[in-house]
């Protein structure tokens, strides 16, 4: 009977997740001991992990979820609820409801201005369209940007996750910096002339708009799922080791790490896939927040990647370059060991093709106590500034390091196998 009761409670909680957004104004950030985390997962498959630190796992939880945790005798600590807006944010210097941060429309305007002001160096391209009919933009920066010269390509992409607003600004400002300094800096000119630098500031426009206007903590896209819930975590929807297990992503549509119904089922990931396969990409950074980490493959397994030493060396160099700017410490490491296991994320997939050095950079702050997903507008410039040398370095690295032909690196290629078959394959 007790077991049945517990199961019923679990099902009720899972079924109730669709209402989580409506109760957003009362959500809190809680932590549980890592040793209790397995029990916590009983309450909510694919709990919304924020980070792990000092043996505790931090989670966004609604009152209903906290009640379910209590019923399961999981001890949790309410860390904070002070970062939740109680109403629309005040208008700020940058204009718009989200202040100095870009909305999708503001970004489109600014990208068009960059293209207009830097003819020949910048080409704005639409790489996809979302479920709500928004365009996904890529800004290509190169000499003769409008023609395909087959030069080494590097990708800087932001905002897979809607609430991680700072991740829009860093790649956007990098593009702006390159264009505005082309005539001033020999270093910038050399890089731009020798490569194609692709900037995709907003991979998830629908989610970002929802985060701005409805629910600040929204993470996923806005896919209407079959069970009435919304959203696929597009950083669990890429095609390498997709659905490898239910720890690194979730099969439950209401989960914040729902992987979708199949690899590349979402227009956002399909757009990135087409872009990446269409050029000679040799490196990429996917920006996220928060934690101050530089993470590299694999994410889906704690086994090391074939080029683990090189991945680690590049990450270490980038961490050193970042620290040299104003002393901010970013910790580098393999994603599955440094953060938590993920599957179907962007960097595992881009790396799987030909071993392109692929990084998830978790931007500041370092933890919840320093603001979580909320960086003050006045910090945007400094966060970009400390990442700039690392971005320049990775671009130079890509130019200097051709990859073997795709699929020559001895790793398993992108495929859409069933999770079970894939799991069997990958265990051998
Ligand atoms: Zn993220």
Ligand 1: centre distance to CA 373 (Å) = 10
> pTM value?
0.80
Query: What average pLDDT does this structure show over 409-427?
Result: 36
Buried-state track 26-53, b at ≥16 Cβ within 10 A, e below 16: ebbbbbbeeebbeebbbbbbbbbbbbbe
Handedness of CA 106, 108, 113, 118 (dihedral sign): positive
pLDDT tens digits for 76-98?
Answer: 888 765 444 433 444 444 556 68
Q: Residue 16 and residue 224: Cα distance in Å, rounded?
A: 16
The structure tokens listed for 131 are 């479920």
With a cut of 70, say whether residue 383 has pLDDT above it: yes
Query: What average pLDDT does this structure show over 31-43?
Result: 69
Asked if residue 246 belongs to a domain, the reply is yes
Query: What average pLDDT does this structure show over 321-332?
Result: 97
Ligand 1: centre distance to CA 75 (Å) = 26
Specify the higher pLDDT residue, 344 or 368: 344
From 80, 112, 127, the end of a domain falls on 80
Note whether 375 and 320 are same-domain residues.
Answer: yes
Asked if residue 56 belongs to a domain, the reply is yes
Domains of the chain: total: 2
Ligand 1: centre distance to CA 392 (Å) = 22
Query: What average pLDDT does this structure show over 300-306?
Result: 95
Note whether 317 and 382 are same-domain residues.
Answer: yes
Q: Residue 228 and residue 234: Cα distance in Å, rounded?
A: 18
With a cut of 80, say whether residue 125 has pLDDT above it: yes
Q: Output the DSSP codes for 235-265.
A: GG-SSSSTTS-SSSSBS-TTSTTB--SSTT-
> What confidence category does residue 21 fall into, taking pLDDT thresholds of 50, 70 and 90?
very low
Ligand 1: centre distance to CA 217 (Å) = 11
In the chain, the N- to C-terminal Cα span, in Å, equals 41
Specify the higher pLDDT residue, 96 or 236: 236
pLDDT at 47: 52
Tokens 């100095």 sit at which residue? 100
Residue 360: strand pairing partners: 286, 295
Asked if residue 168 belongs to a domain, the reply is yes
Q: Residue 319 and residue 329: Cα distance in Å, rounded?
A: 7
Note whether 345 and 260 are same-domain residues.
Answer: yes
With a cut of 80, say whether residue 314 has pLDDT above it: yes
pLDDT at 95: 53
With a cut of 80, say whether residue 325 has pLDDT above it: yes
With a cut of 70, say whether residue 5 has pLDDT above it: no
**Residues near 72 by beta carbon (within 8 Å), at least 6 away in sequence:** 6, 9, 39, 40, 42, 43
Note whether 326 and 229 are same-domain residues.
Answer: yes
Note whether 289 and 242 are same-domain residues.
Answer: yes
Query: What average pLDDT does this structure show over 29-56?
Result: 67
Query: What average pLDDT does this structure show over 134-138?
Result: 98
Specify the higher pLDDT residue, 168 or 78: 168
pLDDT at 277: 95
Note whether 26 and 154 are same-domain residues.
Answer: no
pLDDT at 3: 37
With a cut of 90, say whether residue 185 has pLDDT above it: yes
Query: What average pLDDT does this structure show over 327-346?
Result: 93
Q: Residue 243 and residue 210: Cα distance in Å, rounded?
A: 26
Asked if residue 136 belongs to a domain, the reply is yes
With a cut of 90, say whether residue 407 has pLDDT above it: no
How does DSSP classify residue 62?
A: -
Residue 404: strand pairing partners: none
pLDDT at 390: 98
Ligand 1: centre distance to CA 161 (Å) = 5
pLDDT at 24: 41
Asked if residue 87 belongs to a domain, the reply is no
With a cut of 60, say whether residue 362 has pLDDT above it: yes
Question: Which residue segment(s) compose the domain that 413 sits in?
Answer: 104-421
pLDDT at 193: 98
Spatial contact of 72 and 41, defined as CB atoms under 8 Å apart: no
* Least confident span in 14-18, 36-40, 287-291: 14-18
Ligand 1: centre distance to CA 187 (Å) = 31
Asked if residue 187 belongs to a domain, the reply is yes
Ligand 1: centre distance to CA 189 (Å) = 31
Ligand 1: centre distance to CA 182 (Å) = 31
Minimal CA–CA distance to 19: which of 58, 49, 50, 63? 63
Mean pLDDT of the chain: 84
Note whether 261 and 214 are same-domain residues.
Answer: yes
Note whether 233 and 174 are same-domain residues.
Answer: yes
Q: What is the CATH number of the domain that holds 68?
A: 3.30.70
Note whether 135 and 251 are same-domain residues.
Answer: yes
pLDDT at 217: 85
Residue 40: strand pairing partners: none
Ligand 1: centre distance to CA 288 (Å) = 4
- Identify the H or E element spanning 205: helix 205-213
Ligand 1: centre distance to CA 133 (Å) = 23
Tokens 């390159």 sit at which residue? 178
The structure tokens listed for 383 are 């966060």
With a cut of 80, say whether residue 319 has pLDDT above it: yes
- CA dihedral defined by 175, 178, 181, 183, rounded to 10 degrees? -120
């Amino acid at each position: 009977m007790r077991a049945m009761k517990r199961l019923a409670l679990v099902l009720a909680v899972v079924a109730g997740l669709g209402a989580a957004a409506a109760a957003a104004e009362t959500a809190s950030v809680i932590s549980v001991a890592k040793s209790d985390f397995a029990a916590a997962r009983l309450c909510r498959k694919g709990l919304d992990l924020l980070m792990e630190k000092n043996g505790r796992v931090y989670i966004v939880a609604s009152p209903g979820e906290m009640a379910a945790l209590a019923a399961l005798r999981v001890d949790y600590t309410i860390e904070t609820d002070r970062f939740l807006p109680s109403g629309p944010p005040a208008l700020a210097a940058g204009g718009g409801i989200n202040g100095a941060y870009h909305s999708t429309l503001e970004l489109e305007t600014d990208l068009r201005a960059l293209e207009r002001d830097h003819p020949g160096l910048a080409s704005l391209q639409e790489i996809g369209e979302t479920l709500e009919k928004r365009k996904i933009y890529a800004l290509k920066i190169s000499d003769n940007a409008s023609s395909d010269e087959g030069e080494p390509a590097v990708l800087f992409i932001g905002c897979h996750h809607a609430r991680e607003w700072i991740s829009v600004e860093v790649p956007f400002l990098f593009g702006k910096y390159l264009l505005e300094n082309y005539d001033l800096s020999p270093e910038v000119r050399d890089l731009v002339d020798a490569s194609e630098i692709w900037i995709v500031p907003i991979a998830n426009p629908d989610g970002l708009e929802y985060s701005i206007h409805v629910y600040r903590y929204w993470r996923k896209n806005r896919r209407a799922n079959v069970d009435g819930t919304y959203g696929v975590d597009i950083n669990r929807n890429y095609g390498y080791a997709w659905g490898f297990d239910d720890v690194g992503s979730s099969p439950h549509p209401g989960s914040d790490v729902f992987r979708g119904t199949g690899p590349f089922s979402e227009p956002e990931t399909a757009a990135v896939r087409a872009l990446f396969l269409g050029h000679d990409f040799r490196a990429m950074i996917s920006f996220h927040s928060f934690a101050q980490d530089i993470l590299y493959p694999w994410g889906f397994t704690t086994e090391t990647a074939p080029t683990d030493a090189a991945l680690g060396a590049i990450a270490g160099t980038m961490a050193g370059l970042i620290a040299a700017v104003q002393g901010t410490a970013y910790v580098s490491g393999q994603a599955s060991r440094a953060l938590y296991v993920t599957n179907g994320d962007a960097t595992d997939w881009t790396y799987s093709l030909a071993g392109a050095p692929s990084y998830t950079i978790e931007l500041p702050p370092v933890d919840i106590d320093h603001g979580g997903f909320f960086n003050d507008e006045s910090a945007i410039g400094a966060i970009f500034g400390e990442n700039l040398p690392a971005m320049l370095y990775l671009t130079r690295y890509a130019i200097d390091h051709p990859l073997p032909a795709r699929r020559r690196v001895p790793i398993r290629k992108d495929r859409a196998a069933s999770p079970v078959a894939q799991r069997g394959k990958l265990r051998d």
